[in-house]
Amino acid sequence: LSKTAASILESLFKKDPHEAEFIQSIQEVVHSIEPVLVKNSQYVQILERLLEPERCFIFRVPWVDDRGEAHVNRGFRVQFSQALGPCRGGLRFHPSMNLSVAKFLAFEQTLKNALSLYKLGGAAGGSDFDPKGKSEIEVMRFCQSFMDELYRYLGPDQDFPAEDVGVGPREMGFLFGQYRRLSGHFQGNFTGPKIFWSGSSFRTEATGYGLVFFARVVLADMNKELKGLRCAISGSGKIAMHVLEKLLSCEAIPVTVSDSEGYLFDGDGFDYVKYTLIRNIKAQQRSLKEYLKTFPRAKYINDAKPWGSNMPCTGQAVDILRKAKVHVAPAKATAAGGVAVGELELNPEFSLMQWSVEDFENKIQEAVKQTYDRSMKAAQEYGILKENPESLVHGANISAFLNIAQAMTDQGCV
């Protein structure tokens, strides 16, 4: 790293030494945009300002369980940047949630939104509450208590949340109901018909399908195709299952899925029969180990997971991939399908429920191709060759940063 980049990271380490997730996400971006800082010294101060979130909210969330016992969890919302527009980003309910994770997710969402054609800032938040094992009434009580504080920071020109881990349609419904009760109005212009995601019948497919479409674009640029390739999938939730479904339709050979206890490997590959079995197992909230009862040749490896998500790899894992010259695509780019459909829902003129499957997939593929092209163009403009395994990572970070930096320059020191 140059002295300037190293100095920026050193300052961050001193301020937030215990925020490992946030620091790792910053390291990747600073490494990527170093050529930009060398060529445009005026962006150094812009970066220093960008790395400090505009607002961080931390609040307690008291709630009562079905036995009448009181509990308290911690709530978070980080509005990282509104330079490009009102904040948009997920809410995550998971025991691992803390301020470092919230800042990392908000920073990633800021760049993810900046990489798209739509003018939105980035935010993220949630709680260390775990909805697993809780009754529906307990989840409702928690969501209502959470929104009692969060609603103060939401609005069509300020911030609107989306689903993330542990927050699905049920939780979003409870959160919206309490928001509507507290605010006294139904602000349908937030995300189409509701303040939260609910407008598109294809909303859950968008991110998973988009990931496969992105892989297809990358491979096409290398004169390769998905057909016949063996693919490792992480997770077994909504996004992962849509990835599996779309890989099968592309005639690829998916061989893994994972859950919180480990990962399932089927060397013969999954087909539609096996896909249906996995989907049924997860719908009943059972372990993927159940798969072995029907297909005993498969293997379940405990306490090991092939991850794919926001910042899926540790710094050490990234070094291994780099040395092996494995091509890597960043989550902020591969999520283009979900970002595109989510942002279209913000426009009340779009009636996504009436889209055909073909229209929907065409829209996602268009967004994916545009994101890929913008990322590769930015990389090449700063001397990063397409053959570089990290060209997509660097290009996506550069393109997103330049969009934000220009807006921050225009708006002055605010």
Domain locations in the chain as residue ranges:
54-196, 200-340+359-369
| 194 confidence band (pLDDT: 50, 70, 90) | very low
pLDDT, the chain, mean: 87
pLDDT given for residue 87 in this prediction: 92
Mean pLDDT along residues 380-405: 92
| 349 confidence band (pLDDT: 50, 70, 90) | low
| 297 confidence band (pLDDT: 50, 70, 90) | very high
What is the crossing angle of helices 203-221 and 357-381, to 10°?
50
The tokens for 269 are 């590959």
What does the pLDDT look like over 50-72, one tens digit per residue? 999 999 999 999 999 999 999 99
Of 277, 266, 330, the closest CA to residue 25 belongs to 330
**Would you say 178 is a known binding-site residue?**
no
pLDDT at residue 362 above 90? no
Task: Choose the weakest-confidence range: 56-60, 98-102, 130-134, 328-332.
Answer: 328-332
**Would you say 112 is a known binding-site residue?**
yes
Task: Choose the weakest-confidence range: 131-140, 234-243, 375-384.
Answer: 234-243
Mean pLDDT along residues 215-236: 92
What does the pLDDT look like over 241-260, one tens digit per residue? 999 999 999 999 999 999 88
The domain 54-196 having CATH identifier 3.40.50.10860: the answer here is: yes
pLDDT given for residue 190 in this prediction: 40
Task: Give the CATH fold of the 200-340+359-369 domain.
Answer: Rossmann fold (3.40.50)
Mean pLDDT along residues 149-165: 88
Task: Choose the weakest-confidence range: 8-22, 194-208, 291-305, 315-329.
Answer: 194-208
| 409 confidence band (pLDDT: 50, 70, 90) | very high
Mean pLDDT along residues 191-198: 43
Query: Can you give the chain as a three-state secondary structure string?
Result: CCHHHHHHHHHHHHHCCCCHHHHHHHHHHHHHHHHHHHHCCCHHHHHHHHCCCCEEEEEEEEEECCCCCEEEEEEEEEEEECCCCCEEEEEEECCCCCHHHHHHHHHHHHHHHHHCCCCCEEEEEEECCCCCCCCHHHHHHHHHHHHHHHHHHCECCCEEEEEECCECHHHHHHHHHHHHHHHCCCCCCCECCECCCCCCCCHHHHHHHHHHHHHHHHHHHCCCCCCCCEEECCCCCHHHHHHHHHHHHCCCEEEEEEECCEEEECCCCCCHHHHHHHHHHHHCCCCHHHHHHHCCCCEEEECCCCCCCCCCCCHHHHHHHHHCCCCCCCHHHHCHHHHHHHHHCCCCCCCHHHCCHHHHHHHHHHHHHHHHHHHHHHHHHCCCCCCCCCHHHHHHHHHHHHHHHHHHHHHCCC
Angstrom distances, CA of residue 347 to CA of 22, 186, 201, 251: 31, 15, 16, 35
Q: What is the dihedral of CA 405, 408, 412, 414, to 10 degrees?
A: -130
Residues 6 or more apart in contact with residue 256 via CB below 8 angstroms: 232, 233, 234, 263, 264, 265, 266, 306
pLDDT given for residue 372 in this prediction: 92
> What is the reported pTM?
0.86
Q: Do 54-196 and 200-340+359-369 show the same overall fold?
A: yes
pLDDT at residue 6 above 70? yes
Q: What angle do CA 51, 56, 61 make, to 5 degrees?
A: 150
| 268 confidence band (pLDDT: 50, 70, 90) | very high
Burial of 277 (0-12, 13-18, 19+ CB in 10 A): middle
More confident residue, 299 or 311: 299
What does the pLDDT look like over 171-181, one tens digit per residue? 988 999 999 89
pLDDT given for residue 198 in this prediction: 45
pLDDT given for residue 58 in this prediction: 98
Mean pLDDT along residues 72-97: 95
What is the spatial distance between Cα 63 and Cα 35, in angstroms, rounded to a whole number? 49
pLDDT given for residue 360 in this prediction: 80
The answer to whether 94 and 128 are in contact (CB under 8 A) is yes
Mean pLDDT along residues 198-202: 51
pLDDT given for residue 310 in this prediction: 64
Percent with pLDDT over 90 in the chain: 57
Percent with pLDDT over 70 in the chain: 89
pLDDT given for residue 344 in this prediction: 66
pLDDT at residue 188 above 60? no
pLDDT given for residue 33 in this prediction: 94
What is the spatial distance between Cα 313 and Cα 325, in angstroms, rounded to a whole number? 15
